[in-house]
Amino acid sequence: MRQHSLSILPPQPLHGEPNFTGVSSGSKKPFEASNPRNDVQEFASVVQREVNCQGLTSEQDVLKPTDLKTLKRLAQNREAAKKSRLKKKAYVQELESHVQELESHKIELDQLKLEIQNDGAQGILLGGNANAGEQGLAYTNIIPGAAQFDKAYARWLEEHHHLTVDLRGAVNDYRRLNEIGTATRNWLAHCDQIVALKRKALKNDVFHVFTGMWKAPAERCFMWMGGFRPSAAIKIALSQMEGLTEQQRAGLRGLHQSTNEAEEAISGGFERLDQCLTQTIVGNTLTVPPDVNTYMTQMSIATKQVSALQGVVTQGDSLRLQTLQELRLHLTIRQAAQCFLVISEYFNRLRSLSTLWLNRTRHD
């Protein structure tokens, strides 16, 4: 009987022993094992050739078809959302522009209505004056310089309205503080422009500027030295502003007191000018007809005294600008913007009151 031989070699290589598989039969060294490092390098070269054949450059380019669809859908969604935001922004800007245009037209119509009504009132006065051809000239005719100032003021008022709308938009939209500060500075700088226009008009007709013939009737009732009373603006700010600290309120009360004292000083100078002018015009006697030489001397002195009225209006304008600047220093950026919006709305309502009252008296 044939004896079974024992297999002394295991069917699988033991741990740590070399693997003899894959050895070429024609190799001169049949028992030499393959190098694992060479196998890794060969696999890496195969992967690189596959990547190069497909035109891929990195691992991120090797994506599943589902990943590509997701990225495409997300990109389309972002583009659609961007277009929607731009369309909404353009629509809102168009509406705001339309509103501003309508409001500017309303201001122009109100101003034109006031001019027509003032001209009509002056015509009534002329009709009751028998010597209107000569004595009425000083009350009805406006010199070219004053007429130019009225037109310049109308343009200034329209532009000031636009700046006020921009300032209100910056506050209501809760824009950044630097944008609100820029809108506030633009608003204040525009107030400087009307002061420059008034100084030029004072040289042409000080009475026209001082009496406020370029303003609405309700505004003229509350005028002080050719403009608004600064202490009244501070009082409005104190009554309408919210969120003021005790320190801010104390500072505004101190500003109100100092401004009131400055107003009294300017008013005192105007009263002294009034007394001097009255004494010059009256002279020794008001005889009719007057002595020609005495009359001409009195009028010459009175004319020089009237020129001092320009200084009174200039002092009032300087105090007005100073008060606005002081208000800005006592408040935060947002509070200052709200304060100037309140002041603007006050004068806007005075102009509206003038229009409503004149329409009421005309219809009644």
157, pLDDT greater than 90: yes
Pick from 234, 188, 236, 190: nearest CA to 337: 188
Angle 220-226-232 (CA atoms, 0-180°, nearest 5)? 70
Pick from 292, 234, 286: nearest CA to 259: 234
The percentage of the chain sitting over the pLDDT mark of 90, rounded to a whole number, equals 45
Whether residue 142 contacts residue 208, with contact meaning beta carbons closer than 8 Å, is answered with yes
| Helices and strands, counts by H and E, the chain | 12, 0
Whether residue 170 contacts residue 179, with contact meaning beta carbons closer than 8 Å, is answered with yes
Q: Which two tokens stand for residue 60?
A: 């991120």
224, pLDDT greater than 80: yes
Packing angle, helices 333-363 and 65-127, rounded to 10: 40
Report the mean per-residue pLDDT for the chain.
Answer: 78
| Between 361 and 323, residue with greater pLDDT | 323
Per DSSP, 12 falls in state S
Whether residue 183 contacts residue 339, with contact meaning beta carbons closer than 8 Å, is answered with no
Q: What is the pLDDT of residues 337-362, one digit of tens each?
A: 999 999 999 999 999 999 888 887 55
pLDDT confidence bin for 141, thresholds 50/70/90: low
122/358 Cα distance (integer angstroms): 14
pLDDT confidence bin for 183, thresholds 50/70/90: very high
188/320 Cα distance (integer angstroms): 11
214, pLDDT greater than 70: yes
Q: Taking residues 66-78, report their average pLDDT.
A: 82
Q: Which amino acid is at 288?
A: V
172/168 Cα distance (integer angstroms): 6
136, pLDDT greater than 60: no
Q: Which two tokens stand for residue 334?
A: 């947002």
**Torsion-angle region of residue 241: left (phi > 0), alpha (psi -120 to 50) or beta?**
beta
Whether residue 332 contacts residue 324, with contact meaning beta carbons closer than 8 Å, is answered with no
The predicted structure's pLDDT at residue 17 = 45
Q: Could you state, in order of their start, the residue ranges of all structural domains in the chain? A: 83-141, 143-363
pLDDT confidence bin for 48, thresholds 50/70/90: low
Whether residue 180 contacts residue 170, with contact meaning beta carbons closer than 8 Å, is answered with yes
323, pLDDT greater than 90: yes
145/202 Cα distance (integer angstroms): 9
| Between 258 and 65, residue with greater pLDDT | 258
For residue 129, the SS3 value is coil
Instruction: Compute how many other C-beta atoms are within 10 angstroms of the C-beta atom of residue 184.
Output: 24
6/93 Cα distance (integer angstroms): 97
Q: Which two tokens stand for residue 41?
A: 């390098």
- C-alpha 317, offset from chain centre: 23
From 75-84, 165-174, 223-232, 339-348, the region with the lowest mean pLDDT: 75-84
